[in-house]
Amino acid sequence: MNKKSEEYIDFGVDSRYSTIEEKTSDAVILMQARLERMKNLPKEQIIRTKLIQLKLEMDEFLKQGTLGLSHKFSDFLGKYIDILYTKHAYFSKDLNITPVFLSQIINGHRLASEEFLLKLTVHSEKTFETVCFFNKNTWFQIFYQEKINQLIFRQDEWRSEIEKQVKFSELV
Amino acid sequence: MFAKYGIFFYIYEMNIVDVSTDELIPIEILPVEKTDYKFISKNRYFFNWKEEQNQEVLKLIIKGKNDILGLISYEDIPEEWRFHIRLLTVSKENKGANRKYSKIAGNLIVYLAKLAIRKYGIMGCVSLRPKTQIAQHYIKNYKMKITGMTLSLEVPEILDLINQYENE
């Protein structure tokens, strides 16, 4: 590679398609090649990808902060289990909890206990160890961020009753 | 490597490297705003970025500063599960052997790689169509695959690149 082209590399690239035809024909060739390569992808790479995808989704949720009333903790938990286990019962056995307890958390009928969060954290640390960087506080952060979101966005439901109970006997 | 959010929120932090000191400098990658285009000249950023105003365009800045060190424009192509890079550049003073910071272009590509994996999972892909002989640079440095005229980052190499930048 000559000096001029090396300098060109340094500042960037113009990768825009010149024509629609060019874009279309490139897309067809690329898609065929990608699908072919995908056929040979080992199962462990598929699991690795799904775990990294989940981690990126969780990071994004935390980065965005207060976003509304979604049940992200149970959504993420359900995804995590589905990536690793064929049945939720196997996961509950590994965490030494009952399948009913797990099911209630996933369906949003019960809040995750502190002990459950600790077990989930230990399980995730081991799972992600060889996959990618995974912050050990992630599940706690997701859990409490969701609680914060619910308190903020459900003010209409709790405010009037709570305000009745709060007195200001020595208000300056 | 990690940024602090509030009392206990820690999230992975992106960095570039100060070439003269090897110091890691925390950065942010944000959408380019209309007012930014006043400062994005062809002289400093090599391309006519005003042509990209109707595209998705991101800027790389040092945290807490406004000066743009790198730019990328891209197209999300959902029917192909891929993000195609249109233009990518570093600012003039970050080009060549005497550059001030390294890893500007890499961080912009990795940012797009994360978007692709987050949105499209196993089919996530970042593509590039260099018009000159610079393809080898991207194959060597980012482990891109070549298909016809297109370079692409796919699983598993795209995951390795994401991990590489998170672990450095």
The predicted-structure confidence for B63-72, as pLDDT tens digits, reads as follows 999 999 999 9
Q: What is the DSSP letter of B2?
A: E
On the question of pLDDT at B84 being above 90, the answer is yes
Q: Does A34 touch chain B (CB under 8 A)?
A: yes
The pLDDT value given to residue A4: 43
Q: Residue A98 pLDDT more than 80?
A: yes
What is the structure's pLDDT at A69? 61
Mean pLDDT confidence for A26-35 = 96
In chain B, where are the structural domains located?
A: 15-167
Quick check: is A34 in a domain? no
A79/B contact by beta carbon, under 8 A:
no
Note whether A38 contacts B: Cβ–Cβ < 8 A.
yes
pLDDT for residue B51 is more than 90: yes
State the pLDDT at residue A6.
Answer: 45
Tell me which chain A residues have a C-beta less than 8 angstroms from the C-beta of B2: 135
Q: Each residue of A132-156: pLDDT tens digit?
A: 989 989 999 999 988 888 888 888 8
Q: Which residues of A touch B96 (CB under 8 A)?
A: 7, 10
Q: Flag whether residue A163 sits within 8 Å of chain B, measured between CB atoms.
A: no
The answer to the question of residue A168 being in a domain is no
Helix, strand, coil % (nearest 5) of chain A? 70, 0, 30
Given CB atoms, is B7 within the 8 Å cutoff of chain A? no
Per-residue pLDDT tens digits for A61-87: 888 876 666 678 999 999 999 999 999
Subunit contact A49:B121, Cβ cutoff 8 A: yes
pLDDT at A153: 84
- Using the structure block, give the residue that is written with the tokens 């993000």: B83
The answer to whether position A35 is within a domain reads no
DSSP secondary structure letter of residue B126: E
Tell whether B100 is within 8 A of chain A (Cβ).
no
Contact B8 A14 (CB under 8 A): no
Total residue count of chain B as it appears in this document: 168
* pLDDT at position A27: 96
CATH homologous superfamily of B15-167:
Gcn5-related N-acetyltransferase (GNAT) (3.40.630.30)
Chain A residue closest to B130 (CA)?
A15
Position A9 in a domain: no
- Chain A residues close to B58, C-beta within 8 Å: none
Q: Does A133 touch chain B (CB under 8 A)?
A: yes
> Is A57 part of any domain?
yes
Q: What is the pLDDT of residue A55?
A: 95
Average of per-residue pLDDT across B123-129: 96
Q: A14 or B6: which carries more pLDDT confidence?
A: A14
Q: Which residue has the tokens 């994005």?
A: B40
Q: Quote the tokens at residue B123.
A: 């089919």
**Mean pLDDT, chain A, as a whole number?**
89
Q: B134 to chain A: which residues are within 8 Å by CB?
A: 5, 8-9, 13
| Region A21-49 average pLDDT | 95
pLDDT of residue A10: 63
Residue B5: its pLDDT value, please?
42
DSSP codes, B50-105: GGGTTSEEEEEEETT---EEEEEEEEEEGGGTEEEEEEEEE-GGGSSTT-SEESHH
Across the interface, whether the CB atoms of A33 and B147 are under 8 A apart is answered: yes
Number of structural domains chain A divides into:
1
B29 pLDDT band, cuts 50/70/90, is very high
Cβ–Cβ gap B118/A53 under 8 Å = yes
Residue B137 — pLDDT band, cuts 50, 70, 90?
confident
The answer to whether position A72 is within a domain reads: yes
Distance CA A162, CA A77 (A): 32
A98 close contact with B: CB closer than 8 A: no
Domain residues for the domain of A109 are 42-154
Tell whether the model's pLDDT for residue A116 goes beyond 70. yes
Least confident of A27-36, A64-73, B39-48, B89-98: A64-73
Give strand pairing partners of B9: B5
pLDDT at res. B12: 60
Residue A9: per-residue pLDDT: 62
Q: Does residue B48 surpass a pLDDT of 90?
A: yes
CATH number of the domain that A52 lies in? 1.10.260
Mutate to test the interface with B, among A5, A7, A16 (most CBs of B within 10 A): A16
